[in-house]
Structure formats: C-alpha cells, structure tokens
Chain A
Amino acid sequence: MSEKAAQVRIALRNCGVIDPENISDYIATDGYEALAKALFSMTPDEVIETVKKSGLRGRGGAGFPTGIKWETARKSQSDVKYVLCNADEGDPGAFMDRSLLEGDPHCILEAMALCGYAIGAQEGIIYVRAEYPLAVKHLQLAIRQAEALGLLGDNILGGDFSFHLSLYFGAGAFVCGEETSLMNSVQGGRGEPRIKPPFPAVSGLWNAPTNINNVETYANIPQIIRNGWEWFRQFGTEKSPGTKVFALAGRVNNVGLVEVPMGTPLRTIIEDIGGGIQGGRRCKAVQTGGPSGGCIPAEHLDTPIDYESLAGLGSMMGSGGMIVMDEGDCMVGIAKFYLTFTAEESCGKCTPCRIGNRRLLEMLTRITEGEGRMKDLDELDILGNIIKDTALCGLGMSSPNPAISTLRFFRDEYEAHVRDKRCPAGTCKKLVGYKILEDKCMGCTVCARNCPVSCISGARKKVHVIDQKRCVKCGVCHSKCPFDAIARG
C-alpha cells in the first residue's frame, strides 16, 4: 500500500480484501459502525446534512447531488417510503457495480439502511441484474447474515429503527436502468420510462416517495458517515469530491477496475495505472460514459476527470466504463457499435428515440459501407441534436452522443469514409480489401495456410493470389505475412 499511489480506494476499500461471504470480515473493517453511529448519535437530518456537505454526487451517470435527493425524499410526506438500489449496470463492458456487490455486499446493505433512517423508509429493494448470479448469491447471503445479527430487520441494534431489504431481478433491458423504467419493472409493468417530474423522491415506487441511487454511490455512504464530510472532501475536486471507479478496458496493457480521485487526468489512468497502450502503439481516443458518452481524442488526455470537464468535451462520466482506443479502432465504427446497441434497446415509447436512432444508425451504416453522402455528416449532427432535445428519457437524450462526439473530433475520418471510400483504421469490412503485392510475395504459402476460408491459392515459391469473391476480409493474411507482401486498402 502506498501513500502516493494514483489509486485511492474508498468505494472499493474492501473489494479483494475481505471475504464477502463472511459478515465478521466486514465488521472487522468497521462495517456497520456508520449505521450504529447514525442510529445512536445522529438525527436523520444530521445524516442528510453530512451527505449534503460531503458533496457526493450520483455515480450512476448524471452526477446529481445525493444529499439533495435524500433531503427531498425526507421532506416528502408519506407513511410508506422506499429505498432503491440501482444495480442494473447495463452499459456494455462496465462491471464496477458487479465487483462491488460481489466483493463487498454488506457495504451496500449498510448504506441503504442509513438512507432508510435518513429519509424515513422501512423498506429497501435492490434491483440487480439476473445475469449477475454471484452478486445475487452474495447479496442474499449478506442479507441473511445481517438479519441474524440484528443489523437489518426489526429494531436494528435494539433501537427503534427497522429496515427490511429484498432483491428484485432485472431481466437485462438497458432501459430498465433508467430509474422510472426500473420502478415500472418492479411494479410488474413494462420497462418503460415516464416523464419527470414528478421525481422519484416525490412520487416513485407505488407512488410513494422513493430514493434511488447507484451501487457505487451507496458504497461511499458508510465512509462518509463514519469519517465525516470533511474527510471525504480531501479527495477529488471542489465540484466533484471523492473518487470514481472505472472499468478500464480496450487497448491498455492492464485492464481492470481502478478507483482514482476525481480530477485525476485521463493520462494518469491510461499510462500509470493502465500501463500504456498494448504493443507500444499510440492512444487515439478514450470512450467514457458507454452508450451515452463520447470519444475524447488523445490531445485532451490531460483533461481532469470530473463531471463538468467530461461533459464539456461532449462525453460524460456515465457509470464508469472507460475504453481506450488506438489507431486500429475506427471512430465511425465505434459510433455505429453504440448506436446499434441503443437502437436495439430503445423501448419504443417515444418517437425521437424509436425512429430517430434508427435513422442515425442507417446513416452510420451507409457511411461504414462506402455509401455515405457528404450531407449525411451534417444530418447526423442535426438529427442527433433533435433526438437529444426531444426524447422522453435519458436513453434518447444521450444516445446520439457517440455519433456527435466522434463527428466533432474525427470529422476527417468520417470524410475519408464518404469521399475516398476508405477506412483509415482498416476495420470497416466493405471498405477494405487485401491484395498480394507481386514484387514482394516469396511464395512462402503462410497466407494460404492461414486463410480461414481458403481463398488464397498459389504454388510454392510462386506469387499467390486472393480470390476476391470469396475473401471475407478478416485480415489474417495481412497480419501473418512475414514479408509485408499483403497490402490493405
């Protein structure tokens, strides 16, 4: 453990350290101490005040101040209120919440009980993806253990406060991570969003005031209550205090889960923690925010990570997916990948999102297939912004971001596809072809032997040829040829 390490672990402090199936391990690391402290030495208003002063903002995407959300839920008058945990984690490639739930389940239970005490709720539900069987198992076990010790259930720690927790399984629709869809889903309805306001804190699950937070947001709460808001504020920046967990993936050497103070430059994550780019290649862009975010080009790698800076670059913090890309990644292809995902996952309730995303996807598909027109580029931008302005929920309000941001920073790459019918990264299959250079081919047969569809022929020590009709453009010959005799273009 090092003091000057780039990684600072608050949310992940117990992950990989404790045995998550053993409540005694969690208690050993001061687990449930924050709950006891709150129940026996703080009023609900003091708990909320502490969370407010900590400046903690939601880690599920939008970065809304958690304390203000809790305060609204507390002020909403009702006999019944709910505490929800959003463990739907739908962003492709993201696994921060899964790791937290698997590695430190009690910390989420403790935080939800704290929230229940603060807002005046006796019931909590964790909405967790059914595709996370280990997280589900650990949560179920943790709930049973906490109940057996009197840390959940009726009269927690012998006091007046009671709090019951249960699980609800999500079936894997991306839109069900949106809070109003999530609540519809818990009520047995379709996973469709509704217009806000009213916000969940005023009218949520079964129309009762409901506080919903992301897993990682909750994971910070016990630490804030136990150590105080001043302690929390020594990490991160003025407007974005604390740390953020990222699932680092893509072309870096060290993929994994990292937690850094807000304000850390992207470069530190990629170079120091991620160990740089594989094969010594150059970083081209970093995708943050998943299907709602955008691509930040390499020249902005010194940008500090916080909610405002990332939004300023047309991306967003999102839940914490971070995909590092190099010259071998096509920016139009990336935009198309995400649009394929969001067009598929759009619930269909509102027109801009249902139809608009389809049209965006069609344009991107045309461009990657060499059928694009220059006016598509302008239309992508115009339509993208219209969808953002008019969609019903956050899905449509953010789904054009991958296209808009890549167009903003990598317009030349789009133009190469449209004007020159060329994919600079060499990944758009319709735009690349492989050709054997007669003057370089030695007839070594390596390409022919490695071609998965056997479309290369030629005698030993004679120039080989590719049957273009049967070529699937996989690029294997190109990477295997020992004499650089295969040209891609």
Chain B
Amino acid sequence: MEKLTSWDALKNYREKTCGQTSLLCVGEQDANRVVLAVGEATCGVAAGAKKIADTLQEEIDRLGLKNASIIATGCFGYCYAEPMVEVRMPGKPSVYYGYLTEEAARDIVVKHLVHGQLVENNVLPVEVNIP
C-alpha cells in the first residue's frame, strides 16, 4: 500500500474506493449489489453469528447469487436479538433481521434476496439516530 502524504491524498483515497465492499459508498456498478452485514463482535459470535454467516454464504453459493456478499461488522447494540444481519441494497433503507436461526438465514437469502419479500418474523425495528 502506498502511503498517503497529504490531506488531499486522503480525500482522493476516500473518493476512489472507500467503503465499497460494504456498500458504504455506492457507484453505478453497485446498483444491483446486496451486502449482508453480520454482527460478529464477541456478543454476536457467542450467539452463533459465525454459523449464520456460513449458512448465508452456503445459500448464496447454492443459488449462485453473484451480486451478494457478506461482511462482518461489530456490535450494533441489539445484543438481545443476536445473531443479527443487516441487508443493504443501494437506494433502499436497510432491513435489520434478528433472532436468526439457520432456517431464517436461508429464508432471508431465498425470500428477501431473490424474491424481494421480507421475512417478517425476524424483522427488527431499529431506531437510532446517527447525527
């Protein structure tokens, strides 16, 4: 990696590629992408997040969804509802799912990612203000 040697270099770096794998910034080529953000902090892992992430990946592979990818984030604070996953799609508000089981994880991939339907039972009402 090349070192950034000025404030402008930092700004340019940010504008180029930053946050793209996680869909924190979105370009034209990202329009059809989906990111599943699984909470994999200690609390999430203790609740079984790794198994859920594996299940999501298996299902994505099985269905050959080339536009979907998984990232691991930290704790979102909703520890009571772990394991949880956030479904990010460009231009749409995120959907947060909690209390995940392997079955629910497979449901999310099939229903939400393929058919665009919510998996109602696992939707978490998330109310936080990030100013």
Using a CB–CB cutoff of 8 Å, the interface residues on chain A facing chain B are 1-10, 12-22, 24-25, 27-30, 32-33, 36-37, 39-40, 95, 98-99, 102-104, 132, 134, 148-151, 157-158, 231, 235, 253-259
- Nearest residue (CB) in A for B13 is A27
Chain A min CB distance to B57 (Å)? 15
Contacts of A256 in B (CB 8 A): 77-81
Identify 5 new A-B residue pairs, CB closer than 8 A, beyond the known A6-B127, A22-B22, A103-B73.
Answer: A7-B128, A12-B77, A16-B74, A18-B74, A28-B22
Do the beta carbons of B74 and A20 come within 8 Å of each other? yes
Do the beta carbons of B21 and A235 come within 8 Å of each other? no
If A8-B129, A27-B19 touch, does A15 touch B14 (CB 8 Å cutoff)?
no
Contacts of B43 in A (CB 8 A): 95, 99
Other-chain residue from A2, A20, A28, A253 in contact with B24 (beta carbon distance below 8 A): A28
Is the interface on chain B under 10, 10 to 19, 20 to 34, or 35 or more residues?
35 or more
Binds A, one of B1-9, B58-66, B100-108, B109-117: B1-9
**Distance between Cα atoms of A25 and B88 in the complex (Å):** 15
Do the beta carbons of A19 and B129 come within 8 Å of each other? no
Do the beta carbons of A29 and B24 come within 8 Å of each other? yes
**Distance between Cα atoms of A256 and B84 in the complex (Å):** 13
Q: Which 7 A-B pairs have the closest CB atoms?
A: A103-B74, A28-B19, A16-B76, A150-B3, A158-B5, A28-B18, A256-B79
Most buried by A among B45, B71, B75: B75
Other-chain residue from A7, A20, A21 in contact with B127 (beta carbon distance below 8 A): A7
If A149-B1, A158-B5 touch, does A9 touch B73 (CB 8 Å cutoff)?
no
Contacts of B7 in A (CB 8 A): 36-37, 39-40, 157
Task: Say if the beta carbon of B31 comes within 8 Å of chain A.
Answer: no
Task: Say if the beta carbon of B131 comes within 8 Å of chain A.
Answer: yes
If A13-B130, A19-B72, A21-B72 touch, does A255 touch B18 (CB 8 Å cutoff)?
no
Most buried by B among A17, A103, A258: A17
- Nearest residue (CB) in A for B131 is A8
Chain B min CB distance to A281 (Å)? 17
Do the beta carbons of A150 and B4 come within 8 Å of each other? yes
Do the beta carbons of A255 and B79 come within 8 Å of each other? yes
If A24-B18, A28-B24, A254-B80 touch, does A103 touch B75 (CB 8 Å cutoff)?
yes
Other-chain residue from A14, A18, A19, A254 in contact with B78 (beta carbon distance below 8 A): A254
Do the beta carbons of A5 and B76 come within 8 Å of each other? no
- Nearest residue (CB) in B for A5 is B127
Contacts of B72 in A (CB 8 A): 19, 21
What are 13 residue pairs bridging A and B, where the CB atoms are less than 8 Å apart in the complex? Answer: A1-B126, A3-B129, A9-B129, A19-B22, A19-B72, A28-B24, A30-B14, A103-B74, A150-B3, A157-B4, A157-B9, A255-B80, A256-B77
- The interface bits of chain B over 34-78 (1 if a CB of A lies within 8 angstroms of the residue's CB, else 0) are 000101011101000000000000000000000000011111111
**Distance between Cα atoms of A259 and B78 in the complex (Å):** 11
**Distance between Cα atoms of A253 and B81 in the complex (Å):** 10
Chain B min CB distance to A377 (Å)? 38
Task: Say if the beta carbon of B17 comes within 8 Å of chain A.
Answer: yes
Chain B min CB distance to A234 (Å)? 8
Task: Say if the beta carbon of B118 comes within 8 Å of chain A.
Answer: no
**Distance between Cα atoms of A14 and B45 in the complex (Å):** 18
Chain A min CB distance to B45 (Å)? 8
Do the beta carbons of A253 and B10 come within 8 Å of each other? no
If A18-B73, A27-B10, A33-B10 touch, does A103 touch B41 (CB 8 Å cutoff)?
yes
Other-chain residue from B3, B14, B71 in contact with A19 (beta carbon distance below 8 A): B71
- Nearest residue (CB) in A for B84 is A16
Contacts of A98 in B (CB 8 A): 41-42
If A20-B74, A28-B24, A157-B5 touch, does A235 touch B13 (CB 8 Å cutoff)?
no
Contacts of B127 in A (CB 8 A): 1-2, 5-7
**Distance between Cα atoms of A265 and B127 in the complex (Å):** 17
**Distance between Cα atoms of A3 and B5 in the complex (Å):** 38
Contacts of A150 in B (CB 8 A): 3-5
Do the beta carbons of B75 and A102 come within 8 Å of each other? yes
Chain A min CB distance to B26 (Å)? 11
If A102-B41, A134-B41, A150-B4 touch, does A15 touch B76 (CB 8 Å cutoff)?
yes
